[in-house]
Structure 1
């Protein structure tokens, strides 16, 4: 079949790869001059298959109220919100129950574990390189209370057979020697040995080259103007490069997907939760992380990418704003310097922001819509890089009539109809 993918981030490009391998004729469209130039450009770099949890969790409403008065809070909400934002926030809050959290986390772990196997197979098949490491993720807890609160997460990991280790202070420094000078600030940690790290931007660009070698066509600097629909099918997408016709259309435009779907009568509750990162060169190898360290206190990921450290975090409810407030950089700097002080040259920090496409339940939206030839692969929030290969292989199987190998009925946009 002839398939057009809208979006050339990591999710769109991985979708192109798996659909091409399934024998389809694939075209990828993006308004940017190349792949991975928006949310996939400078994300945290963690590929955390085991460390995937919904932002909507029990206790978050109370924590959010306290965070309002904290300078370095992991969640920031602008004072004036539009009705669309309020609607999404209310949906997210409705998922902050023990029952909903368990369901949503199990969905996310299911996709992530599928993605782990898919990425490993892709790497073995292609030899693709992207500053990757397979040294696990360490989530560090600064208080015993934080450490004692992980019981529910451990049950989900056990149910899916995900290996993990609960570590004391020494166990944390054994896994990440760079933490040793600041070990007294840590109560313990949760290590996920199967997790990985890697530069999403490099990966996406290298995979785009492999896709092009398979015959995938990329249309960059191409904006979508309108959609022509006839009955229950999309006839064509009107773009600045002309009309694009296809048998199947895949919307993988991250936070901008709802705007594309709205004229088609499809309500997709995906919100652009803003995140930030800094990237700094390593100047002291002995103090640097060896993989990804999650600072539970600030919800910040500190990741080793070759000779650089990538620090990503903060969830900001601010619409489509891409401003770079100095205060957000200060939070990221505080976290990395508090745990890995002196490892990187902060004077050369590159500061970036991106819009994470977040669903209110944390689970991405993968699968068919009520239109016969329109599929979605979006809404991955902070885990687009982690879930990209699994989501794309699931999508390719659904479109091609294959068996994805995992339950997918609860991943489509139809789950919000109820």
Structure 2
């Protein structure tokens, strides 16, 4: 049975960035939070834990490369995600004012769409965004938890066979020996475990922002398409519009053109704040997925389950980026096709020129512009193909 917040009956205004808000609020990085001193201190503590965790994991993995490649990959695979989450945390903090403005502006624009059809678009895309980001949160939570479960099960099996408990952290990290002994060991263990959850909420928050903005902009594009087609519609037996009617249509068309321009501006501003996050994700996605699959082949027992879940989480991340970009591009092309298929040719020359201008603008599809990549399902296919090549290469070398 679905939780209530995943159902379409859940209030739409509460769906708006529901999961990213929950995730980033846990660590004090949601842009709309009031920046009080206790919140600043809590966010700094989480930043420090994540930063040291990235250093400790990377140090441990690099030291193990000459002696034990399997152990090295076991440390370096999650550290890639941790470093990427650190990048996302820094980007959200650096652009927090811009994120806040975008959240509030897109919210205001979507709240203005109130017809029955538009409410249907909102319900569909708002619910879909919540469900997909919840799926990502569950995959990340299961991945982080599985590392701790694996470590605990391994030690329980060792104790059952009369062997000593290995005082290691769930994620392979370098720590001073004094911290890996009683009585400090349980505290360090909990901090490392929390480090895994910080990694999860960072990528859920950033990826949820990307997917949410893409879906909400798609709602605005669909609403704009309906308004344009309704404005230009002419009945079969209706007389041609009078000069006065055409003047009203021109004024309304000007407002629709302004709305289209604002959607394009919002997409450009979103590209500006998401460029580092999206570029880093696309550059490292093949490496992370490939490394996790290689680890899956090297380990056995619980270790396989850990990396199956990890591969699902990383695959879900990159899929959401490509899905969001595809929805925006399809909405732009649909706006262009629907506008061209309307009765624009039955209006005055002024209206015809404005319509052709909108068609030309819509054909230049809106994309989240990042260097070398364009988030789309075609890009996802290329990434998976390259990942397969990396896996085949790694299998031939190891």
Question: What range is the shorter-chain TM-score in?
Answer: under 0.3
- Between Structure 1 and Structure 2, the one with more strand by share is 1
What TM-score comes out, normalization by structure 1 length? Answer: 0.23
- Between Structure 1 and Structure 2, the one with more helix by share is 2
